[in-house]
Amino acid sequence: MQINVTIYHPAALNPTNLLDGRKHARSHRRWPGVHPFACCRHKAVPFLCRLDQLAYRILRRLLVSLSLVAAYLFVSVRAGAQPVDTVSLAVEVISHRAFLWKHTPRLTIRAGHVVFGQEVGLIWPTYGRRIWEAWRRYPLWGISLCYFRPGVRAHGEAWGIVPHLTIPLWRSRSWLTAFRIGTGIGYVTHPYDSFNNPAENAIGSYWNNLTQFQLGLTCRLTRSWRLRAGAALTHLSNGAAKLPNFGINLPSCFFSILCSPVFFRREAFLPASAPNRAMRRFGMLIGGSFARIEYAVVDGPKYAVWGASLSGLFHIDNLNRLTFSLESEYNPAVAEFSLLTGGALNVRAARSGAVRLALAPGAEFLFGPIGIHVQAGIYAGSSNINRYVAAPWYSRLTIRSYFPALPNVSIRPWVGISLKAHGVNAELIALQLGVAY
């Protein structure tokens, strides 16, 4: 007979040693400059702990660098820069007052409280050198470093780097109403962990997608200074790459100051050289997609989800087109679940139930080689397919990059990334590849 005896250190059985946000927040105040959760993540793997601390330092230094750029531009303005015939770079500093929206009753994090956020970003306008820029009323490109603090029992802090596009809706000499869309990488300091942090279930991974929408009104004070205010929605999730993945939604109002050290003349904007009329009315999109997700079980296995789509296009003009898509997906996790739970009598029935088939009308908006495609899909087909779907309909946001047309044909390859959601809960983030005709 063999007897195994395990002796635990008394400190290991002390419940006060479990991860507690308040204790580490107090530690952070005593030790300024130290990440508030760095001392309690990956205790058994020092390399991962050092990697997390390095990522935090990089994000913090990016914020400092952008602040120094803003200070330099401020000094340039004070020095009195001369007008030129080119469009200048602008620095924007944004302050958000948000609240954490409890969009599902299954959220266990603290919600409903005020969340403050900041952004520092660079913006550069277009001025009509490409004809589509004039057709789109001279949109603005930019990139921002974002910071939000949901706080204790709400995943700590959230950072993000977000490229974005500002689309003018109405403009006059001193006023501009515009819609901004951006998507990038987000980092959460205190995600769900089955052992160390089981009570916060909105985000299951450190690295996530951060998508932001803004609707704002800009007032031009002088040639170099502008004020902007409006409403925004910031969303953080990982597309079910790591469960749980209910996501964080932060509706907010914001106020910002923009500074351009080198102002420009109205003559810098070039008018369109031709009217925006569609060269042809109909076209087609063919694509495939791939995603890798956890399904239903936290810390469970990951499954590959494959998809295909066929879309008909109707061109309203050269930049806007309506779409109608037939979309299909195969989720092997559904087949495994059906077999293990008795939901399917055999392998063939399980695989049939794992097929998703849907009809999805939508619209795509082109900005040069970049396309923004929004869709609303509804599942269709016999009762043998579309089993265990979270809702009868879904939404999808896809951002594509189109390559030049192939020689002697009107076929353009493209790559893209899409976010699919049921309601406000993201189901997956997929990589896409296809061709347009």
For the chain, domain boundaries: 82-265, 282-436
Spatial separation of the C-alpha atoms in residues 321 and 365, rounded to whole Å? 7
**Rg over CA atoms, the chain:** 25
pLDDT beyond 90 at 331: yes
CATH code of 282-436, in short, is 2.40.160
- Please tell me the predicted confidence (pLDDT) of residue 383: 83
Spatial separation of the C-alpha atoms in residues 132 and 64, rounded to whole Å? 35
* Mean pLDDT, the chain, integer: 84
The string of pLDDT tens digits covering residues 85-107 is 344 789 999 999 999 999 999 99
Confidence category of residue 3, pLDDT binned at 50, 70, 90: very low
Q: Calculate mean pLDDT across residues 190-217.
A: 95
The string of pLDDT tens digits covering residues 125-172 is 898 999 999 999 999 999 999 999 999 999 999 999 999 999 999 988
82-265 shares its CATH topology with 282-436: yes
Q: Calculate mean pLDDT across residues 29-49.
A: 44
For 303, the enclosing helix (H) or strand (E) is strand 302-315
Give Cβ neighbours of residue 311 (< 8 Å, ≥ 6 apart): 284, 285, 286, 287, 323, 324, 325, 326
Highest mean pLDDT: which of 10-14, 53-57, 168-172, 376-380?
A: 376-380
pTM, to two decimals: 0.79
pLDDT beyond 80 at 82: no
For residues 437 and 420, is the Cβ–Cβ distance under 8 A? no
| CB atoms closer than 10 angstroms to residue 372 | 18
User: 153 vs 113, 135, 190, 192, 249, CA distance in Å?
Assistant: 11, 47, 9, 10, 15
Cis peptide preceding 413, ω within 30 of 0: no
**Architecture of the domain delimited by 82-265:** Beta Barrel (2.40)
Spatial separation of the C-alpha atoms in residues 331 and 334, rounded to whole Å? 6
